[in-house]
Amino acid sequence: MQNSLSLQYPFVLASNSPRRKEILRNAGFEFSVLPSDVDESFDAAMKPQEVPVHLAERKASELARISPSTLVLAADTVVILENELLNKPSDKSEAIQMLQKLSGKTHEVVTGIALHTPQGLFMKADSALVKFRTFEEWEIDFYVREGSCMDKAGSYGVQDYLGMVGIESIQGSFYTVMGLPIYEVYQLMKPYILDRKQLLIR
C-alpha cells in the first residue's frame, strides 16, 4: 500500500474525474471527493487561456463556503486551437468534428487550478503544446465509437487510444494535458504537509 502524506487540514477534491483522482493518489495524497456542480458558463469576451482558472476558482469557492477549514482543490482543462476553445463535445458528431480539426495540427492545453485554504485562495495555470499527426478517418471513428471522448475537453484523452497513438510531441507537462498539473498542485499543497522532518529520518 502506498504511503500517504499527512496534511494539516482535511483535503477535498472538487472533481469526480478519474484522471485527477489517479494523479493525486499517485502523488501521495489522501482526499475525499465532492464534485462541484456550479454553472460553467463564462463571458465570451474572456481570453481562452483565462477560462480554466476562472472556472476552477468558481468551483473551489463554492465548496469552500461549505467547508471553510478544509483544503479544496478544483481544476478545469481547456483545449485551444487557433484561438478557438474546444470544450467537451455535446455528442459524438461534435467529437468527430473536433478531432478532425485537431488532426495534423498543434494545439494548446491549459489546465487551471484553484486551492482554497483557511489562509486564502491560490490560483495557478499551466499550459502545454500538443502536436497531433494526421489521423485517418477510421481512427477517429474507432475512438469516438468507444465513447471515452465524451467527458474530455477537445474530445480526447492523452492517456487514451488516440492520445497514445496520435500525439507526436508534447511541449510541457504530460499531467497538465491529462487534467492536473501536479507539480503546481504540489507546490501549493507543500506548506500543509505535516511531519516532513520525520519523513526525512525514517
Domain ranges of the chain: 11-201
12 contacts 70 by C-beta, under 8 angstroms: yes
Q: Is 76 a known active-site residue?
A: yes
The neighbour count for residue 71, using CB atoms within 10 Å, is 23
Digit-coded pLDDT (tens) for 175-186 = 999 999 999 999
Cα separations (Å) of 191 from 160, 166, 194, 196? 34, 38, 8, 10
pLDDT at res. 198 = 55
Residue with the bigger pLDDT between 197 and 95: it is: 95
Of 1-10, 56-65, 99-108, highest mean pLDDT: 99-108
170 contacts 121 by C-beta, under 8 angstroms: no
Cell triple for residue 161? Answer: 487510444
Identified catalytic residue from 39, 76, 126, 151: 76
Q: Which helix (H) or strand (E) holds 58?
A: helix 51-64
Span 48-73, average pLDDT: 91
First to last CA, the chain: 17
DSSP annotation of 115 reads E
Collect contacts of 133-140 with beta carbons under 8 A, ≥24 apart: 133/103, 133/104, 133/166, 133/167, 133/168, 134/103, 134/104, 135/99, 135/100, 135/103, 135/104, 135/162, 135/166, 139/165, 139/166, 140/96, 140/99, 140/100, 140/103
Residue with the bigger pLDDT between 35 and 102: it is: 102
Digit-coded pLDDT (tens) for 74-117 = 999 999 999 999 989 999 999 999 999 999 999 999 999 999 99
CATH code matching the domain that covers 11-201, chosen among 3.90.950.10, 1.10.760.10, 1.10.287.110, 3.90.320.10: 3.90.950.10
Cell triple for residue 93? Answer: 458528431
The neighbour count for residue 8, using CB atoms within 10 Å, is 13
pLDDT at res. 202 = 47
> What is the distance between the alpha carbons of residues 140 and 184, in angstroms, rounded to a whole number?
32
pLDDT at residue 67 tops 80: no
139 contacts 120 by C-beta, under 8 angstroms: no
